[in-house]
Amino acid sequence: MGINENNVLNAPQIRSRVQAAIERVTADPALTEALADDEALTLLHWAETEIERLVLETADMDDEAAGRYLAPALHQLRRYIRETANTSAETDDPAVMLHLLLASPPVFYTEET
């Protein structure tokens, strides 16, 4: 992450959006219940990074527009977290499968894409 991205992420409005999106996406413990704690934390940390990337795309938007823009991608992200957790947990080595799945995640489409 570059210096400019760090500055934008630290802006109060963007931090607020990031926090709200993280809470919206990760609030349901059932998303990762199939995984052991270490794997669940890995998946949730990955999701937080993905959320930051998505929220950065809203830096020039007001909160209402940002919400509309992010809603489809956050919904897709929640679905991907659940599917990834379940798929990983069904294998002999969930940690390895989790890393393989997170190495090439799908594109999460926003309102405008």
Alpha-carbon torsion angle 110, 87, 94, 101, nearest 10 = -40
Rounded to the nearest 5 degrees, what angle is found at the Cα of 11, between the Cα atoms of 72 and 67? Answer: 20
Residue-wise pLDDT tens digits, 54-86: 999 999 999 999 999 999 999 999 999 999 999
Amino acid of residue 51: I
Name the DSSP letter for residue 45: H
User: What pLDDT band is residue 10 in, cutting at 50, 70 and 90?
Assistant: confident
pTM of the model: 0.87
How do the domains of the chain map onto residue ranges?
3-103
Rounded to whole angstroms, how far apart are CA atoms 85 and 95?
10
